[in-house]
């Protein structure tokens, strides 16, 4: 069998979602490790006032492509953008482009999706299921197609505790659901959504489960591979450690904790997050693409976590609201207590301060958004799943030693504390665009916040003393009793240590 690099040489690859987090890393890795790949066709839509061409040219200037640009300044010639809006019939690809793609594509990587947890069902269905169906129809017209790789999620079947490498029966026949929702207005769909998604937490996991089934239906006609990554985080090694460009999942949590806003979160202390670096997922995806040309199956990865707050203190973010100090608890009431004391109370005080300074209050609004976002993650952070991953071991055993290094997806070699440190630095540098040279100033700011906290606590104690103790005889008696007791203890310890000496 050819090695992975040899396999992709001379191949034309179609990628959806290439402007997204994972898609960009996939494009970069293909160009870097498979320099003889013939062409990368990417489906792109105009967005936010930018044309397709402007978006692609902007994307190629991104720091992520530095090493590829250095090795081959003309690398952009291999990237061929195709205008496409996935929510439109026929993916709104022009007939000429359909012809072109049908004639040349060898491998399809389908990464595009809406990954929002609060997406209205109709839109999530349109993009995650109907667009997948449309892409599969297009794939069937491709004369030289060798593999169709669909990126799903490990949480597509999160309503189960143990998840095997199989496609489970869908919660509903996708075709019937699509037909029924077609005539309903958005209000009715919104009302029935909770009943439809049943024991899944959101429309995202529900529609991703339906998409897997839709893909499986084509397995007799196409060589299909399905990948189920868990929570995809910053890069481990490639193209450099810590690459991340979004607020999704853990990144938003790290940033909110680093800025001192997030102080409490509901999570299962034993199994915090099934985090997987994006470069590992991309290496796996390319290996699956190579292997699927021969065989069909699905795959997914694993779990770990640790000392985040220390990393955030070592690499502080600029202008933090408070010092990073986030606690995890699985207890609902304790979490609510800390939300009140550590989130809402400081926000109220700060907003009061802003009002007194004649400024618009803003902290409560920020916290309300944070609570919504964290609330949506809670389902995933408070539970544990067991995943079967025999296919990963099997695939690893098929790789040549060179491929095992070049397309490494063996996370057993990953040093998690080092990875989390790079992840924190990555969110600082690449998501928030903060400069590392500002770290001394950020540390100074944290010291200032600590002093403010000490001063505030001292004033609070004095206040309590004045209000409750100095004005009540009973409080005074209790106070004297406590002080007396402490004094006696001290005298006892002093006496006993003198005796032992």
Point out which residues bind ligand ST9 (CB under 6 A).
115-118, 153, 155, 231, 247-250, 252-253, 255-257, 262, 265, 267, 272-273, 308, 326, 328, 369, 373, 376-377, 380-381
DSSP 50: B
Smallest distance, ligand ST9 to C-beta of residue 46, A: 17
Segment 54 to 93, residues that bind ligand NDP, using CB under 6 A: 84-87
- 60's tokens: 């190629």
Asked if 74 contacts 4 with a C-beta cutoff of 8 angstroms, the reply is no
Q: Which is nearer to ligand ST9, 369 or 450 (CB)?
A: 369
Stretch that binds ligand NDP, among 105-113, 337-345, 361-369, 454-462 (CB under 6 A): 105-113
**Applying CB under 6 A, which of residues 11, 29, 45, 445 lies at the interface with ligand NDP?**
45
Vertex 16 angle, CA 15 and 21, to 5°: 100
Q: Which is nearer to ligand ST9, 297 or 379 (CB)?
A: 379
Q: What are the angstrom distances between the C-alpha of 354 and each of 201, 340, 359, 401?
A: 37, 20, 5, 61
Q: What share of the chain is helix, strand, coil (3-state, %, to 5)?
A: 55, 10, 35
Q: Which does 488 bind (CB under 5 to 8 A by kind): ligand ST9, ligand NDP, none?
A: none
**Applying CB under 6 A, which of residues 104, 105, 232, 424 lies at the interface with ligand NDP?**
232
In three-state secondary structure terms, 145 is coil
| Contact flags string 133-172 toward ligand NDP, x per CB under 6 A | ------------------x-x-------------------
**Distance of alpha carbon 452 from alpha carbon 431, whole angstroms:** 28
Q: Which residue is nearest to ligand ST9 (CB)?
A: 252
Residue 31 touching ligand NDP (CB under 6 A): no
Q: Which does 308 bind (CB under 5 to 8 A by kind): ligand NDP, ligand ST9, none?
A: ligand ST9
Smallest distance, ligand NDP to C-beta of residue 312, A: 21
Q: Which does 124 bind (CB under 5 to 8 A by kind): ligand ST9, ligand NDP, none?
A: none
Residue 149: which of 5, 11, 298, 301 has the closest Cα? 298
Q: How far is CA 297 from the centre of its chain?
A: 24
| Contact flags string 201-220 toward ligand NDP, x per CB under 6 A | -------x------------
Stretch that binds ligand NDP, among 64-72, 245-253, 308-316, 384-392 (CB under 6 A): 245-253
**Applying CB under 6 A, which of residues 79, 112, 257, 363 lies at the interface with ligand NDP?**
112
Q: Which does 87 bind (CB under 5 to 8 A by kind): ligand NDP, ligand ST9, none?
A: ligand NDP
Question: Which residue's structure tokens are 């063996």?
Answer: 410
* Sequential DSSP letters for 430-457: IIS---GGGHHHHHHHHHHHHHHHHHHH
- 87's tokens: 């929510």
Asked if 210 contacts 128 with a C-beta cutoff of 8 angstroms, the reply is yes
**Distance of alpha carbon 93 from alpha carbon 196, whole angstroms:** 32
**Applying CB under 6 A, which of residues 201, 225, 241, 249 lies at the interface with ligand NDP?**
249
Q: Which is nearer to ligand ST9, 181 or 431 (CB)?
A: 431
Q: What are the angstrom distances between the C-alpha of 349 and each of 8, 105, 346, 355, 362?
A: 59, 60, 5, 10, 11
Q: Which is nearer to ligand NDP, 113 or 210 (CB)?
A: 113
Omega of the bond leading into 395 within 30 degrees of 0 (cis): no
Question: Which residue's structure tokens are 């100095």?
Answer: 470
Residues that bind ligand NDP (CB under 6 A): 17, 19-23, 45, 47, 84-87, 111-115, 127, 151, 153, 208, 229, 231-232, 246, 248-249
């Amino acid at each position: 069998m050819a090695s992975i690099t040899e396999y992709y040489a001379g191949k034309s690859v179609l990628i959806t979602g290439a402007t997204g987090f994972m898609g960009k890393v996939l494009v970069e890795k293909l160009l870097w490790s498979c320099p003889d790949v013939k062409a990368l066709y990417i489906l792109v839509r105009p967005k936010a006032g930018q044309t397709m061409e402007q978006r692609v040219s902007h994307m190629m200037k991104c720091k992520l492509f530095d090493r590829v640009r250095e090795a081959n300044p003309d690398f952009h010639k291999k990237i061929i953008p195709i205008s496409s809006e996935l929510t439109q019939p026929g993916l709104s690809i022009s007939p000429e482009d359909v012809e072109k793609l049908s004639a040349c594509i060898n491998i399809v990587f389908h990464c595009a999706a809406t990954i929002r947890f609060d997406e209205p069902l109709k839109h999530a269905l349109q993009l995650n299921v109907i667009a997948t169906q449309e892409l599969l129809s297009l794939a069937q017209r491709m004369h030289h197609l060798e593999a169709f790789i669909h990126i799903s999620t490990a949480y597509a079947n999160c309503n189960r505790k143990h998840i095997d490498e199989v496609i489970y029966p869908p919660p509903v026949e996708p075709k019937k659901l699509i037909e029924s929702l077609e005539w309903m207005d958005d209000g009715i769909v919104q009302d029935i959504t909770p009943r439809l998604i049943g024991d899944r937490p959101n429309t995202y996991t529900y529609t991703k489960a339906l998409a897997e089934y839709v893909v499986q239906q084509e397995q007799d006609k196409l060589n299909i591979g399905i990948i189920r990554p868990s929570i995809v985080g910053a890069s481990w090694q490639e193209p450099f450690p810590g690459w991340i460009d979004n607020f999704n999942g853990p990144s938003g949590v790290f940033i909110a904790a680093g800025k001192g806003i997030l102080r409490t979160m509901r999570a299962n202390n034993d199994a915090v997050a099934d985090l997987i670096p994006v470069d590992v997922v991309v290496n796996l995806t390319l290996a699956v693409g190579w292997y699927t040309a021969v065989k069909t199956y699905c795959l997914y990865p694993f779990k770990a976590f640790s000392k985040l707050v220390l990393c955030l203190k070592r690499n502080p973010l600029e202008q933090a609201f408070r010092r990073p100090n986030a606690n995890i608890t699985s207890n609902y009431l304790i979490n609510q207590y800390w939300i009140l004391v550590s989130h809402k109370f400081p926000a109220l005080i700060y907003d009061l301060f802003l009002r007194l300074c004649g400024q618009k209050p803003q902290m409560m609004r920020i916290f309300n958004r944070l609570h919504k976002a964290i609330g949506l993650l809670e389902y995933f952070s408070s539970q544990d799943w067991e995943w079967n991953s025999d296919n990963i071991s099997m695939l690893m055993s098929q790789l040549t030693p060179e491929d095992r290094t070049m397309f490494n997806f063996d996370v057993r070699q990953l040093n998690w504390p080092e990875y989390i440190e790079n992840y924190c630095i990555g969110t600082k540098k690449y998501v928030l665009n903060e400069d590392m040279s500002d770290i001394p100033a950020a540390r100074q700011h944290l010291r200032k916040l600590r002093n403010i906290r000490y001063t505030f606590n001292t004033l609070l104690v004095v206040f309590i003393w004045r209000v409750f103790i100095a004005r009540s005889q009973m409080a005074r008696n209790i106070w004297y009793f406590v002080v007396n007791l402490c004094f006696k203890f001290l005298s006892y310890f002093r006496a006993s240590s003198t005796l032992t000496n």
